[in-house]
Chains A and B, each alone.
Chain A
């Protein structure tokens, strides 16, 4: 009996769970592929935007130049959100699909710390990689934009705030997908639902707004997770008109308001996911 002394040894800690989730995230090929695609898209599209922007014989004011500079770096966000959505779903549905979830929940039978550990690690890694990719894109696109008469003002705090906002948007979109994945426990189902939120719903709302020309429909569209979240990367100086391409009027969310709306979506879905994870048999 001398070999058995479990009480003296370390038990489950949140730090240990974070380390475990870090090992899990980084030891799968799907993670490496998705992040590689994310970085490639960010750099590639920034270079494309920077080298093809053509401003004909106009002198742009500072805010317009900065808006173009932000758009160059965040040009990829529309596509990158699909990549992080897929990866975000897979980090949990991959465990359900393979049975790994039973090992995870046996190691952490309290269950919720395992989910939150996963979200913290995945969210933080996605944020950092997205931000690094955008900083690199900023450095890459600035000389290209300069040839089109757009001189990027790196001393402008609002410029960096937009890039941080874009990285935060991608991280939150990923966590949104993880919450959906925890609820539906199936890769194909989770990815379909998240892409429905990101691609299909905004389009449907936009079509309805255009047909009915009803302001409240357009306003409703502002509160969809991807629409609200994409406001996080808006350059503060830009005019309201550019964010309202159909000229429907209505209001436009400030970046911090967009962030709050997306956070509210994520919190609501995580609350549901937590209740289900706690109750259901694994």
Chain B
């Protein structure tokens, strides 16, 4: 259980995190979403006491992180930036971290095997690929067998097998009753992994709800219409509230009308339809709509 109350972090006039309150519950995977610069990483660093909040506080299982007598056994954390000395081997890195808590070689070997690092465990971390570094970060997070995991972009740089592995691991650990908070920019991945979503935008919470609710909130559900008479039908349905896009000569994507409305209109006008499919909103669409006003770093124009 992670509880943030009125959590803020200011850098001069910039409000990286601005009066954020949320609860991350045990037994489920909570996804942490937001555009670049929304404050996700800063919030995660405040959870484990690396950054000091400007105001407010965040606790893990009722105590501030630094107040726990065995913090690594309480919270496992994977941060976005590398947090490993490049001149040290993976196994020595894990041994050094574990030693602070009396965690010995047996557990180190376990997490190395769990994260698939056996073949490179004795190599210096400086030569690791992004994916290997990420696996080492996950091994460090799992070292204390913690009840809470805070993972910033855990699948960043992982191969497809690794992505699936992280997803299954997160689901499995949540199933054991642990608290999992993970951030990702991969919406399809998040939709498959998370039960609950917290969306940050410009340092504020802009959504905090189960994945289903977030997706359902996505307005403007599209309907795919396939008809040999596409050009005429597009003119018939068009209105200020309805947008029609076409990617193929016989295919229309209609926004602003429901599938029954479109079907009835086609029947009245005598237009033959080959397909009429309502498209269910995706987490990605819902996310784009939620954060449309809060994106700080937007790419402009077409490629």
Contacts and interface: CB of A to CB of B under 8 A. Distances in A.
Contacts of B71: 11-12, 106-107, 109
A107 B49 contact: no
Contacts of B77: 106
Nearest to B143: A107
B140 A103 contact: yes
B185 interface: no
Contacts of B147: 4, 6
Interface string B78-109: 01011111111100110111111111000000
Interface in B126-157: 140, 144-147
B49 A109 contact: yes
Contacts of B48: 106, 109
Given A100-B85, A106-B48, A109-B65, A6 B74 contact: yes
A108 B100 contact: yes
A20 B70 contact: no
A13 to B, nearest CB: 7
B81 A99 contact: yes
Contacts of A59: none
B177 interface: yes
Interface of chain B: mostly helix, strand, loop or mixed:
loop
Contacts of B86: 98
A24 B88 contact: yes
A1 interface: yes
B224 to A, nearest CB: 46
A102 B69 contact: no
B72 interface: yes
A279 B54 CA distance: 12
Contacts of A4: 145, 147, 176-178
A279 to B, nearest CB: 7
Chain B, interface residues (CB within 8 Å), range: 35 or more
Interface string A88-111: 000000110011111101111110
Contact of B50 (A1, A102, A279): A102
A10 B144 CA distance: 10
Grouping DSSP codes into helix (H, G, I), strand (E, B) and loop, the A interface class, with mixed when no group exceeds half, is helix
Contacts of B226: none
Interface residues of A, number: 37
Contact of B85 (A6, A28, A107, A281): A28
B145 A3 contact: yes
B87 A30 contact: yes
A169 B82 CA distance: 36
A97 to B, nearest CB: 9
B167 interface: no
Contacts of A29: 87
B101 A11 contact: yes
B15 interface: no
Given A1-B177, A100-B83, A20 B100 contact: yes
Contacts of B69: 11-12
Interface string B17-46: 000000000000000000000000000010
A20 B87 CA distance: 16
Given A103-B140, A109-B71, A282-B50, A24 B96 contact: yes
Nearest to B102: A10
A41 B249 CA distance: 82
Interface of A: 1, 3-4, 6, 9-13, 16-17, 19-21, 23-24, 27-30, 94-95, 98-103, 105-110, 279, 281-282
Given A1-B177, A11-B102, A103-B83, 16 more contacts: A4-B176, A4-B177, A10-B102, A11-B71, A16-B101, A17-B99, A24-B96, A99-B82, A99-B84, A100-B88, A105-B49, A107-B97, A109-B66, A109-B68, A279-B52, A282-B50
13 contacts: A4-B145, A4-B178, A10-B70, A13-B102, A16-B102, A20-B99, A23-B92, A94-B87, A98-B86, A103-B83, A109-B49, A279-B52, A281-B45
Interface of B: 45, 48-52, 65-66, 68-74, 77, 79, 81-89, 92-93, 95-103, 140, 144-147, 176-178
6 closest A-B pairs by beta carbon, nearest first, are: A11-B70, A10-B102, A109-B66, A11-B69, A20-B99, A27-B92
